[in-house]
Amino acid sequence: MTSKQPQDMSRRQAALDYHEFPKPGKIGIEVTKSVDSDEDLALAYTPGVASPVLEIADNPENAYKYTAKGNLVAVITDGSAVLGLGNVGALAGKPVMEGKGVLFKKFADIDVFDIEVDVSSSQAFIETVVAIAPTFGGINLEDIAAPACFDIERALIDQLDIPVFHDDQHGTAIIIAAGLLNALHLQGKTIDDVKIVCLGAGAAATPSMCLLTSLGARKSHITMLDSQGVVHTGRDNLNIYKREFAIDTDARTLADAMVDADVFIGVAKPNLVSKEILASMADKPVVFALSNPEPEIRPEVAKAVRDDLIMATGRSDYPNQVNNVLCFPFIFRGALDVRAHMFNLSMQLAAVYALRDLAREDVPQSVLDAYGSNDMSFGSEYILPKPLDPRLVDVVSAAVAKAAVDSGAADAELPEKYRKILAD
């Protein structure tokens, strides 16, 4: 047994204890009204509850006035792609969905019901979500395997009048985009000119590349790879999502694609980038090795080969963590606060720019204290805000809410609190 294994076992037991004690699970239900008297009970349930029932029956919009719908998000999975663990099934995905609920509540004061759907087809999943959607102000899809996740999200967006967001797709894309804009700025490069290699072609990869093209990246400059190599126009085994990024190229392998590349974005598997492959990249490269928990290449290995790179991973123990908690609580907070009926491109771009700009501002002392740091400022090891930055909930939420209102995706006006934030 190696020295690392006992430590891993200790951490595993600590995680199990955390989830079991003092009572099982990580989330619960809070009663928000007084129920201390007979009158309270009469108002909370029968006969008083009939009044809001009738108001909602008369006008469904009153559900936002008399129920928790407007601050309630469904975190829904089929368990087909849970973290890096694969298809573990709906029930086994529940700890992750509860964890997502914790983050929603902690960072944006959004209530969550976690829902694990045990179905045998995408259509059955879609029908289930549509049937329960009236309960919620928004839908967060989670840990659903590609390519089914693309079809599911599109169908739900078409059929529902509340915002639907697959975080593995768009949350990842937003954080990658914000970090990349800052990294390229520091490296003296622009997104419309760089050569990008994307290792991975699944739920995170395709939406990320789509968002980068919306920011100015050229499809002809993006080389995507799946498990069979470069996604090119000569292949006849590509689904519709991969075909969107098929290019005419002689490159067939990662080694071929990485020659003179400016940007590497890995959303695949550990240790796929060798020292030799990294060395072949252009001057001042940007490397986002986001496989978790083990990246495509470790930062200490990469920096030993290239001292001119800027690097990010998905891990909290290295600088520049690409962490979806920078996005999903706040994009939902902004959307819920203006009763958005969708998440459109304008709202996603607003989140990108808000995160990009926030990283360039002075870091509050509270953030330095939270991370035990004496110095934290915009630079090669700080291209994204930290998850515990208290400004995120104001800055990102306000930007998203404004984008929703301005683009016609909102059913309510911009709250005064956001007007003040945007004016400062």
For residue 58, the domain's CATH number is 3.40.50.10380
Give the mean pLDDT of 222-235. 97
Q: Which of 313, 333, 353 is the last residue of a domain?
A: 313
Q: Is residue 8 part of a domain?
A: no
What pLDDT, on a 0 to 100 scale, did the predictor assign at position 29?
87
Domain match, 287 and 362 both: no
Q: Is residue 4 part of a domain?
A: no
Domain match, 28 and 145 both: yes
Catalytic residue among 33, 65, 94, 100: 100
Domain match, 93 and 221 both: no
Is residue 45 flagged as an active site residue?
yes
Q: Which of 106, 135, 162 is the last residue of a domain?
A: 162
Q: Is residue 7 part of a domain?
A: no
Domain match, 152 and 174 both: no
Q: Is residue 367 part of a domain?
A: yes
Q: Is residue 51 part of a domain?
A: yes
SS (H, E, C) the chain: CCCHHHHHHHHHHHHHHHHHCCCCCCCCCCCCCCCCCHHHHHHHCCCCCHHHHHHHHHCHHHHHHHCHHHHEEEEEECCCCECCCECCCCHHHHHHHHHHHHHHHHHHCCEEEEEECCCCCHHHHHHHHHHHHHHCCEEEECCCCCCHHHHHHHHHHHHCCCCEEEHHHHHHHHHHHHHHHHHHHHHCCCCCCCCEEEECCCCCHHHHHHHHHHCCCCHHHEEEEECCEECECCCCCCCHHHHCCCECCCCCCHHHHHCCCCEEEECCCCCCCCHHHHHCCCCCCEEEECCCCCCCCCHHHHHHHCCCCEEEECCCCCCCECCHHHCHHHHHHHHHHCCECCCCHHHHHHHHHHHHHHHCCCCCHHHHHHCCCCCCCCECCECCCCCCCCCHHHHHHHHHHHHHHHCCCECCCCCHHHHHHHHC
Domain match, 180 and 256 both: yes
Domain match, 405 and 349 both: yes
Q: Return the percentage of the chain with pLDDT > 90, whole number.
A: 93
pLDDT, tens digit (0-9, with 9 covering 90-100), for 331-365? 999 999 999 999 999 999 999 999 999 999 999 99
Domain carrying residue 264: 170-313
What pLDDT, on a 0 to 100 scale, did the predictor assign at position 338?
98
Domain match, 303 and 350 both: no
pLDDT, tens digit (0-9, with 9 covering 90-100), for 170-212? 999 999 999 999 999 999 999 999 999 999 999 999 999 999 9
pTM of the full structure: 0.93
Is residue 100 flagged as an active site residue?
yes
Catalytic residue among 45, 106, 275, 417: 45
Q: Is residue 6 part of a domain?
A: no
Domain match, 271 and 361 both: no
For residue 222, the domain's CATH number is 3.40.50.720
What pLDDT, on a 0 to 100 scale, did the predictor assign at position 409?
97
Domain match, 20 and 147 both: yes
Domain count, the chain: 3
Q: Is 223's pLDDT higher than 60? A: yes
